[in-house]
């Protein structure tokens, strides 16, 4: 047989084989499709139309008819969890794990889903146990990230640090809040009764290493916190000069955060050089903040005289009008009025405003100013009277600016 005739036979044969293969595939698909219950397509349709409630009902029906559909159970469990029905999600994933015929990969998948269910349901102990089981599986990295979050929400800082270290061995994840974990340990040790200076010293050292080695952790907030912890440590060791030096460093390293420690600086410096007010006043010109304004104003009144304090306050309020600043002024003026007892028969006061006027003025202002006397999280809007390094609302780190709400408006 020459080449042309051989080709003439082979070509139709190829066509015939291709046609048969296509027909077989098509039939196979058709038969598979016929095996799927209608509820499955209904469920898909509801999903595509973003009607998860109805999709779940349809899929639950399919799962009842065909309990072997593992992937469908995963889809259902995930849908339940997303809708906040964590109990149902947990039941779906637990029932999968009970199957003896489940392959290892599916078992790990089910355990990972179950761990997420527990985490969402706030069952941290069970979530932790599930994630620990996943440590040497394909879900190892996700498990370690979740463990960091779990230990953080349990405020178990030592284990959170350990989890970050383990995570760092596998991926280059930046966990900038790691520096605050050490700061939290240091703060707790410093506030303990009696203070644990050994633990505090080590934790401060670790926090410093994080700041030095990880640029993402070296923020104004973390630097300020670290210096303030060092100052508190020095105070416990009765080392006024070291305390003053650490606090003065905040002026350069974290200028926006000076308001948080200004009172501490004034107090310690009064025993040393007495120059803190002057230094802080210069800083205020460059980085004005209400907290700093109030510290300087109070210090000027107590350590110098009313006139100097009033001059500072007048200039400050002229440059940065503030209800809270004005409120501080009136508060001090009222305290002064209390100290100077009025004459019993003094019917006409030669001052522009007498004490009753000031009380009235302050009570009117107070209604407005109190709302503004708050630190506010820029992520979730949680407001608080005191400053937090970690927001109690959204648990984000460094989400508070060291500014009162009035200054943010």
Residues at the interface with Zn ion (CB under 5 A)? 377, 379-380, 382, 391, 393-394, 399
Min. distance of Cβ 386 from Zn ion in angstroms?
A: 14
Output the CA torsion sign for 63, 66, 70, 71: negative
Q: Where are the beta strands (DSSP E) in 202-262?
A: none
Q: How far is CA 31 from the centre of its chain?
A: 53
- Cα–chain-centroid distance for residue 217? 14
What is the Cα–Cα distance from 201 to 76, expressed in whole angstroms? 51
Output 293 or 375, the one with its CB closest to Zn ion. Answer: 375
What phi, psi does 401 have (nearest 5°)? -85, 150
- Closer residue to Zn ion, CB minimum distance, 42 or 149: 149
d(C-alpha 106, C-alpha 121), whole Å: 22
Residue with tokens 């973003």: 50
Q: Residue 384 forms beta bridges with which residues?
A: 375
State how far the Cα of 159 lies from the Cα of 343, in Å rounded to an integer: 66
- Cα dihedral 125, 129, 134, 135 sign: positive
Please say which residue, 138 or 379, places its beta carbon nearer to Zn ion: 379
- Of 179, 176, 241, 166, nearest to 206 by C-alpha is 179
Nearest residue (CB) to Zn ion, 74 versus 388: 388
For the bound state, the minimum distance from the C-beta of residue 394 to Zn ion, rounded and expressed in Å, comes to 3
Can you tell me which residue has the tokens 């637990």?
94
Closest distance of CB 382 from Zn ion, Å: 5
The partner residues of 375 in beta bridges, in order of sequence, read 384, 404
Of the pair 95, 383, the CB lying nearest Zn ion is at 383
State the minimum distance, in angstroms, from the CB of residue 381 to Zn ion: 7
Nearest Cα to 109, choosing from 65, 150, 80, 143?
Answer: 143
Of 229 and 391, CB closest to Zn ion: 391
DSSP state of 341: P
Q: Is there a contact between 230 and 247 (Cβ–Cβ < 8 Å)?
A: no
In whole angstroms, the minimum distance from the beta carbon of 380 to Zn ion comes to 3
CB of 389 to Zn ion, least distance (A): 12
Taking the complex as a whole, the smallest distance from the CB of residue 388 to Zn ion amounts, in Å, to 9
**Nearest to Zn ion of 21, 379 (CB atom):** 379
């Amino acid at each position: 047989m020459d080449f042309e005739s051989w080709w003439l036979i082979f070509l139709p044969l190829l066509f015939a084989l291709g046609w048969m293969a296509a027909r077989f595939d098509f039939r196979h698909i058709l038969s598979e499709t016929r095996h799927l219950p209608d509820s499955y397509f209904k469920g898909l349709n509801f999903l595509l139309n973003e009607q998860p409630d109805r999709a779940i009902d349809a899929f639950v029906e399919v799962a009842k008819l065909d309990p072997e559909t593992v992937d469908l159970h995963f889809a259902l469990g995930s849908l339940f969890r997303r809708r906040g029905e964590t109990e149902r999600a947990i039941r779906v994933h637990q029932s999968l794990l009970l199957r003896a015929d489940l392959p290892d990969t599916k078992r790990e998948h089910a355990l990972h889903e179950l761990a997420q269910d527990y985490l969402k349901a706030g069952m941290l102990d069970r979530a932790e146990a599930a994630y620990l089981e996943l440590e040497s599986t394909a879900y190892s990295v996700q498990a370690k990230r979740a463990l960091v979050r779990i230990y953080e929400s349990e405020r178990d800082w030592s284990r959170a640090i350990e989890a970050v270290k383990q995570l760092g061995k596998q991926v280059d994840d930046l966990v900038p809040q790691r520096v605050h974990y050490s700061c939290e340990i240091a703060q707790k040790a410093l506030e303990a009764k009696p203070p644990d200076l050994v633990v505090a010293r080590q934790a401060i050292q670790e926090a410093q290493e994080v700041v030095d080695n990880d640029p993402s952790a070296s923020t104004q907030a973390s630097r300020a916190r670290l210096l303030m912890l060092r100052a508190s440590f020095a105070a416990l060791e009765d080392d006024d000069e070291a305390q003053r030096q650490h606090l003065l460093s905040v002026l350069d390293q974290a200028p926006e955060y000076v308001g948080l420690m200004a009172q501490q600086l004034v107090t310690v410096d009064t025993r040393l050089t007495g120059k803190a007010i002057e230094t802080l006043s210069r800083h205020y010109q460059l980085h004005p903040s209400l907290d700093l304004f109030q510290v300087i104003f109070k210090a000027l009144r107590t350590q110098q005289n009313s006139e100097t304090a009033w001059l500072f306050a007048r200039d400050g309020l002229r440059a940065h009008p503030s209800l809270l600043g004005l409120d501080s002024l009136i508060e001090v003026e009222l305290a002064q009025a209390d100290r100077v007892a009025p004459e019993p028969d003094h019917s006409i006061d030669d001052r522009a405003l007498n004490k009753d006027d000031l009380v009235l003025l302050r009570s009117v202002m107070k209604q407005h100013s109190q709302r503004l006397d708050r630190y506010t999280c820029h992520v979730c809007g949680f407001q608080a009277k005191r400053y937090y390094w970690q927001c109690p609302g959204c648990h984000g780190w460094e989400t508070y600016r060291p500014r009162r709400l009035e200054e943010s408006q």
